[in-house]
Amino acid sequence: SPWKSVLLLLSPPAFSTTCARCAKDRRLRQKRAISERQLTRYFVDQRKVRVVGGQGGGGGHSFYSEPRKVFGGPDGGNGGDGGHVILKADQQMKSLASVFPFYQGFHGERGGSKNCYGANGAHMYVKVPVGTLVKEDGRVVADLTQHGEEYIAAYGGAGGKGNRFFLSNENRAPTLFTPGEPGQERVLHLELKTTAHAGLVGFPNAGKSSLLRAISRAKPAVAAYPFTTLNPHVGIVHYQDYEQVAVADIPGLIKGAHQNRGLGMAFLKHIERCRFLLYVVDLSVPQPWIQLQDLKYELEEYEKGLSEKPCVVIGNKIDLAQSRINLPLLREQVAERVIALSALTGDNLEELLLHLRELYDTYVKREQSRGQSPVKW
């Protein structure tokens, strides 16, 4: 019937990327491509910020006077306190690019006559992404890992005292009043560590960016030379029940990355917050299991226990003849589950997406059993 045809057109297609045609059709809904040079302006994971609290308002200096009551005594009120500078984690923020190098809280108002206190200065709120680490002189002072979490970066100064404050039996007409105190001044280093659910870890040209393009709407640059990706990309994998799994494309690591070779520290810090890891191995190279061993060694040297996170091994480039020869050899050498696929042609992507959901569901149950709320995108 015509109504059945309309319903079929309106119903969403089955979630499947087992063939090249289905994988490529997903790109029709993707955003425009952003080059690595453009992304450097949008994605900033480090920022040096100078914060100064608002200055307190000065105390008032006045004497009450009205007809038939000339000597009414001092009535100068206290000044208002200066506003704080507060860092607030917001899950809508994904980069430190919008953070300015200087912030100052609003000043408090001066105290008025008739014992009127000055208004307090408004607080200055600075939105930062969830996962922002705040450091001062190389020491971690705050770790904003939850949405809405706040940290007072600089306190506002206290307001001054009006001459009413100094009234006493010995001094019935005080003329003394104090100015407001200056706000706290600090220089902080903000460092963003990606809080994606899954992290794609692999050597350069292993196919991580191509894989992220195939399973999400992210558009990282893809080319046939090493270090095409210079900044982490985060792609969102959507499921039919409206769950969203964030997958981060960590730029390629090299041997000695834990010694900061090839910007290794800048890349490795984004792996710390990932809940589970996806090791991407190039099946076309000789002895691909050596790549997995080297990757785990670099992670373990950077942070103890980092390589023990829940993981799966992805054997990429299965469309090549040499890869099909190396696949059974890889499965014999490693104890983890191996998923063979091709990010270029879209072969066997559905197995990865189903297993990715299993890892995500396990993570959610584990966090809920601990009484903690899992990270949502």
What domain range includes position 238? 198-370
Domain assignment present for residue 315? The answer is: yes
Q: Are residues 189 and 202 in the same domain?
A: no
3 vs 40: CA distance, rounded Å = 50
pLDDT digits (tens, 9 = 90+) for 119-128: 899 999 999 9
| Lowest-pLDDT choice from 78-82, 158-162, 253-257 | 253-257
* Percent of the chain predicted with pLDDT > 70: 80
What is the per-residue pLDDT across 110-148, written as a single tens digit (0 to 9) for each? Answer: 988 888 898 899 999 999 988 888 999 989 899 888 888
Amino acid at the residue 377: W
Share of the chain above pLDDT 90, in %: 20
Q: How many domains does the chain contain in total?
A: 2
Instruction: Using the predicted structure, report yes or no on whether residue 228 has a pLDDT greater than 90.
Output: no
CA torsion sign for 196, 41, 201, 131 is negative
Q: What angle do CA 16, 19, 23 make, to 5 degrees?
A: 65
CB atoms within 10 A of CB 342: 23
Q: Is 136 helix (H, G, I), strand (E, B) or coil?
A: strand
Q: Is residue 26 part of a domain?
A: no
The answer to the question of residue 34 being in a domain is no
Are residues 150 and 210 both part of a single domain?
no
Cα–Cα distance list, 40 to 36, 97, 123, 229, 263 (Å): 6, 9, 31, 11, 15
Considering the domain architecture, whether residues 234 and 139 belong to the same structural domain is answered as no
**Domain for residue 134, yes or no?**
yes
pLDDT digits (tens, 9 = 90+) for 61-88: 888 877 777 677 888 889 999 999 999 9
Asked if 256 and 328 sit in the same domain, the reply is: yes
**pTM exceeds 0.75, yes or no:** no
In a domain, residue 299? The reply is yes
Which of 193, 216, 250 is the endpoint of a domain? 193
Within-domain flag for 295:
yes
Could you read off the pLDDT of 271-326 as tens digits, one per residue? Answer: 777 888 889 888 888 888 888 888 888 888 878 888 888 889 988 888 888 888 88
**Which CATH number fits the domain that encloses residue 312?**
3.40.50.300
Q: Please give the residue that has the higher pLDDT: either 51 or 131.
A: 51
Report yes or no on 164 lying in a domain. Answer: yes
CB 172 within 8 A of CB 131: no
Cβ-based burial of 255 (10 A; exposed 0-12, middle 13-18, buried ≥19): middle
3-state secondary structure of 311: strand
